Amino acid sequence: MNEVHVRVRAGGEHYALPVSGVREIADFDQVTPVPGAPEEVLGVWSLRGDVVAVIDLAAMLGLRPTAGPSRIVVAEGARARAGITVESVLDVATLPEALEPADSGYLAGATLIERVPVGVVDLEAVLASIGEEGRRA
């Protein structure tokens, strides 16, 4: 788990996304809602002419946002790509070893950075869960 991660804030908590799955980070821009989409799918967004599904990381993890999204992290896995909204991007750094497993299917584990708990996001699980919605959007 010592690889480089992008640390973000979502739902007032800290999370880390593996940099290997992050394609870019953009300012939050207009997202077009998709009728009938699950709550965590905010809609679709145009990324240089490509339509990308946008999900709210806080909602995906069952949290309430404490602030509006300010950034979209474009993540890509083996079979899907999506924009993930976060309240802020904190830094890019190597994480210490995970201290404990996480209770969520969307987290690979948890660690502490300067006494702050950080959930390590399993990007493949997040992207797989919205893959079907993203293709229909």
Other C-beta atoms lying within 10 Å of the C-beta of residue 33? 12
Who's near 23: CB < 8 A, 6+ residues apart? 74, 75, 76, 81
| pLDDT at residue 96, rounded to an integer | 87
Q: In the prediction, which pLDDT does 79 show?
A: 82
pLDDT at position 2, please?
65
Sheet holding 107-113, edge to edge: 88-94, 4-10, 13-18, 116-121, 107-113
> What pLDDT does 133 receive?
44
Q: Are 121 and 131 in contact (CB under 8 A)?
A: no
Which architecture characterizes domain 4-136 according to CATH?
Beta Barrel (2.40)
CA distance 27 to 22: 15
Domains of the chain: which residue ranges? 4-136
pLDDT of residue 1: 56
Tens-level pLDDT at each residue, the chain (137 residues): 568 999 999 999 999 999 999 999 999 989 999 999 998 999 999 999 999 999 999 999 999 888 889 999 999 988 889 999 999 999 999 998 767 888 889 999 999 999 999 999 999 999 998 755 444 33
pLDDT at 42: 94
